[in-house]
């Protein structure tokens, strides 16, 4: 396939829709090729099952105009930062070759989320090693020949979707025009967000989903003077060439 402009990696099906779905849709509408990598398949979820979540994820991806989506086979509820798992992610990075990688923020309530962040970062480093799989220490890699046939690759930029954690973002993306579709993409997970007895108290009522998304998106939009926004953190210092073109006024 053609190289991706943006790949969003997350632990669970529906994480991307919540944290950066509007950003992906905005990029796709601008002509960029976007993809989603879900590390797990949702077999441990209180509601639904893995097969149902897979169909719902495909429907959500269409709403977000994602060009590519895949789920790995890491155990739901037990995402671990092992060498084997890093290789699984590194293989994907070599296959789809994204310029920008969106990872979950590296802190949070759910262990799968913050482990996915570290796993994704370290897999990115491995994906760029030319000799990975050819040395005695790594020769035991499963399907090493196929792995070596893929050229090394590292994204130019890594950013972190921080909606799940209370941290001041480095920047936000205006998703005012994409907000309604973002809501639709999350509601595509009918097994998760339809009103039902299973998970009552853990899941918001169907009627509350949009309100919750709207509250968060309006808060981050307020920081930048737009209606709705999604927050991101970057580790690098930003580079400015022209002070007169920096967006968001100070007063």
Give the DSSP H or E segment for 127.
helix 111-127
Question: In whole angstroms, what is the distance from residue 161 CA to residue 11 CA?
Answer: 12
Full strand arrangement of the beta sheet holding 68-71: 68-71, 34-38, 6-10, 100-104, 157-161, 229-233, 171-174
Work out whether strand 229-233 and strand 157-161 pair parallel, antiparallel, or are unpaired.
Answer: antiparallel
Task: Quote the tokens at residue 168.
Answer: 């001041």
Task: Kindly state the DSSP code that residue 243 receives in the 8-state scheme.
Answer: G
Q: Are 50 and 22 in contact (CB under 8 A)?
A: no
Task: Enumerate residues 6+ apart whose C-beta is below 8 A from 46.
Answer: 198, 199, 202, 203
Q: How far apart are CA 103 and CA 95, in angstroms?
A: 18
Q: What are phi and psi of 202, to 5 degrees?
A: -95, -35
pLDDT of residue 2: 74
Give which of 222, 243, 221 is closest to 230, Cα–Cα.
221
pTM, 2 dp: 0.91
**How far, CA to CA in Å, does 34 sit from each of 45, 77, 246?**
26, 26, 26
| pLDDT score of 239 | 93
pLDDT at 172: 98
- The C-alpha atoms of residue 120 and residue 101 are separated, in whole angstroms, by 9
Question: What is the residue whose two structure tokens read 């601008």?
Answer: 30
Q: What is the pLDDT along the chain (251 residues), one digit of tens a residue?
A: 679 999 999 999 999 999 999 999 999 999 999 999 999 987 766 666 788 889 999 999 999 999 999 999 999 889 999 998 999 999 999 999 999 999 999 999 999 999 999 999 999 999 999 888 777 666 566 667 777 788 999 999 999 999 999 999 999 999 999 999 999 999 999 887 765 554 455 566 667 888 999 999 999 999 999 999 999 999 999 999 999 999 998 88
- Tell me the DSSP string of 1-46: -PPPSEEEEESSTTHHHHHHHHHHHHHHHTT--EEEEES---TT-S
What pLDDT shows up at residue 6? 98
Domain 6-245, what architecture?
3-Layer(aba) Sandwich (3.40)
Q: What is the pLDDT of residue 199?
A: 46
| Contact present, 11 and 115 (Cβ < 8 Å) | yes
């Amino acid at each position: 396939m053609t190289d991706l402009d943006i790949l969003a990696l997350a632990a669970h099906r529906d994480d991307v829709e919540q944290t950066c779905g509007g950003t992906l849709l905005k990029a796709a509408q601008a002509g960029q090729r976007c993809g989603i990598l879900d590390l797990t398949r949702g077999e441990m979820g209180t509601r639904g099952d893995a097969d149902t979540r897979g169909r719902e994820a495909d429907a959500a991806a269409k709403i977000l105009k994602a060009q590519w989506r895949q789920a790995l086979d890491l155990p739901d509820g037990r995402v671990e930062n092992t060498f084997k798992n890093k290789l699984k992610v590194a293989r994907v990075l070599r296959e789809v070759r994204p310029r920008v990688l969106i990872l979950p923020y590296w802190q949070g309530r759910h262990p799968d989320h913050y482990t996915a962040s570290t796993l994704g970062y370290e897999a990115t480093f491995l994906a760029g090693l030319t000799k990975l799989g050819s040395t005695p220490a790594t020769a035991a890699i499963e399907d090493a020949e196929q792995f070596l046939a893929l050229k090394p690759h590292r994204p130019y930029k890594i950013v972190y979707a921080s909606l799940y954690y209370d941290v001041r973002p480095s920047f936000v993306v205006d998703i005012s025009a994409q907000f309604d579709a973002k809501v639709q993409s999350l509601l595509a997970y009918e097994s998760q967000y339809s009103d039902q007895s299973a998970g009552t108290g853990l899941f918001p009522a169907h009627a509350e989903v949009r309100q919750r998304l709207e509250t968060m998106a309006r808060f981050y939009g307020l920081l930048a003077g737009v209606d709705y926004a999604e927050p991101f953190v970057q580790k690098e210092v930003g580079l400015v060439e022209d002070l007169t073109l920096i967006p968001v006024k100070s007063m």
